[in-house]
Structure 1
């Protein structure tokens, strides 16, 4: 099995930090993403390699094992256990397993050859856990949706519940690597990276926005149309509304994760627009109002 240099794939040095690994992965993932390179087999292959490298190096423990055991890092624990057992069994003969062969020889013996007792090893081990990042826009998680991901060359269709939060991680059992000796499959861990490109600020489940209000409506009252996250609503403005006043629209906020039909609230702040250009007639009328106010 040819050795795969994950550091080389991500174009980074072995001494890089976690944040630098994440930065390098995002840069290359965008560059070679299948959506940006349709029908490009080379880009597709490169994208798979980048994801595989990130799944290993972005996990602290897996990275340590990879740095020590190379291509056999997934079986590091089994290697250590068997190494200790053989050292114990051969202690009387003063034999040290570490000097008897390289990693590849050991794993061939462990998983493909015969044990020292003449029988084949049947110990089952769980497969590797996969880690992936999924970048979405805030509007993408306002409703529950299905999405197809490419993980290690396999297309996996998942359901993304409405209201999933930025940085939240979910576990999907059995979608990781294959187990050893018919052992159980590993799991898939997905971390959501959600960007907010809307005019709304999200705080937990509540949304916040600002609506411009003309001076005349603020003074006299009236009806306006305002945007919510999923459409428009009509609002009644009370006469004498002050700048900075907030109104709450109950249930017009963001959906609550895995709680069907539950939503936060929407808070609208009125920002009164002061006219910067007035006609002569308007100036005259405002002058009369000022005189009335001061009389």
Structure 2
């Protein structure tokens, strides 16, 4: 318990926060540390678990009241299997034991009867390297369950209404008492809604939902990288009993480029030059995402030398700057020379020495030292 953070601190709200403020704070922070947005980040997973635990307690009026009074040292903790009574819910119907203690066992469960947020959806969006670097607008189709327009989501035939469930008497739960312990399970007849539909809607079959194909348009920001996620709020499936819509998580899949590789906001380019250009220097045309630019290769450039072209990289996702284009020089040795070319090279080699080949001179000096 000593290492656990206060639940109000986890959500970033005050102790007098309203239910709506708690709900908004949870949704905001859940999006910030959702594991989908931070792949391979174990700390994000732990923060998300901690956030869910805090929300489960503070969004439940009875759990919140006990937490406000006792903190983590709830005197009733031993009745449900020990440990933290607020972590991951209660075993053996503990929430309903307190229902009976404080409400006489007559109230409905807020979890089964209250608003429920709709399901989130996930879509993998494939874009090109250039679209990721410069930004774009993409449209795609998704299937999602939506409220039935015929019955307005009630599931009942137009002109009729759902009636109170005869099995659970509208509570949405079946309670069974055995001595001092009460166990609770969701009503199998109404599925926890407390309502029954006698005449089902012909359009949705009584589910209140119909599956529809929708076209979604999203603006992909410049600088987004492979594996990052765009969240479109309230574009998921509709909630239950007046709950808010879920969200749409768009995971970006960037197609590799045939020339460039990405390193953060920098671009890497393996750039081949001739032996003559490396030795004598010269102007070359370097490809960039915005077209070719002229660049001067200095005299005596060695293989593997890197040159940086400022501002020719990727647009920063949350800024106005750009990365750089880094050229990695690859000196290409010619093949299939003519006899004349070979003679010229032999003549050239015969006129050069250690002064022109600094690395070779240093290497040979070290070899001499080794054998001496």
Alpha carbons of structure 1 residues 136 and 86: separation in structure 2 relative to 1, 3 Å: farther
Matches within 5 A, 1:127-276: 127-152=118-143, 153-259=213-319, 261-276=320-335
Per-residue CA shift, 1:243-276, capped at 9, x if unaligned?
A: 11110011111121132x4211111011111122
- Residue 181 (structure 1) shift: 2.8
State the shift of 1:281 in Å: 2.6
Q: CA deviation at 1:294?
A: 5.2
Distance 1:275 1:176 in 2: 59
In our comparison, the structure showing a higher alpha carbon Rg is: 2
Residue 170 and residue 294 in structure 1: after superposition, are their counterparts in 2 closer, same or farther (change >3 A)?
closer
Deviation at 1:88, TM superposition (A): 5.7
Decide whether aligned partners of structure 1 residues 124 and 220 sit closer, same or farther in structure 2, where only a CA change above 3 A counts: same
RMSD, aligned α-carbons: 3.4
Question: Could you tell me whether the CA contact under 8 Å between 2:99 and 2:107 is conserved in 1?
Answer: no
Query: Which residue in 2 is equivalent to 1:109?
Result: none
Is the CA contact (8 Å cut-off) linking 1:248 and 1:267 kept in structure 2? yes
Partner of residue 18, structure 1: none
Say whether the 8 Å CA contact 2:312–2:324 is kept in structure 1: yes
Unaligned runs of 5+ in 1: 1-60, 62-79, 95-114
Answer whether contact 1:255 1:262 (CA < 8 A) is retained: yes
Provide the rounded CA distance (Å) in 2 between the counterparts of 1:219 and 1:208. 23
Q: CA deviation at 1:203?
A: 1.2
State the Cα deviation string for residues 178-210 of structure 1 (Å, max 9, x = none).
Answer: 122333221112222223132211111111111
In structure 1, what is the equivalent of residue 171 of structure 2? none
8 Å contact from structure 1 (residues 244, 270) kept in 2: yes
Aligned counterparts of 1:281 and 1:133: Cα–Cα separation in 2: 58
Alpha-carbon distance in 2 for matches of 1:125, 1:294: 81
Distance 1:251 1:168 in 2: 23
Give the conservation status (yes or no) of the 8 Å contact 1:177–1:186. yes
Structure 1 residues 172 and 293: alpha-carbon distance in aligned structure 2, compared to 1, 3 A threshold: same
Secondary structure in structure 1 of the residue aligned to 2:352? helix
Q: Would you identify which runs of 4 or more consecutive aligned residues in structure 1 move more than 3 Å? A: 84-89
State the alpha-carbon separation in 2 of the partners of residues 290 and 242 from structure 1: 17
Gaps of 5+ in 2: 1-51, 53-90, 144-212, 355-372
Normalized per residue, the structure richer in helix is 1
Helix, strand or coil at the partner of 1:131: strand
Show CA shifts across 1:33-59 (max 9, x none). Answer: xxxxxxxxxxxxxxxxxxxxxxxxxxx
The alignment partner of 2:351 has SS state of helix
Asked which structure has the greater RCO (Cα within 8 Å, sep 6+), the reply is 2
Q: Determine if contact 1:162/1:258 at 8 Å carries over to the other structure.
A: no
Equivalent-residue separation in structure 1 for 2:214 and 2:236 (angstroms) = 11
Length-normalised TM-score, structure 1: 0.56
Query: Partners of 2:118 and 2:226 in 1: how far apart?
Result: 28
- 1:236 is paired with a residue whose SS is strand
Equivalent residue pairs, number: 191
Deviation per residue, 1:106-165 (Å, 9 max, x gap): xxxxxxxxx999xxx984332222222222232221112111122221111111101112
Return the offset for 1:175.
0.8
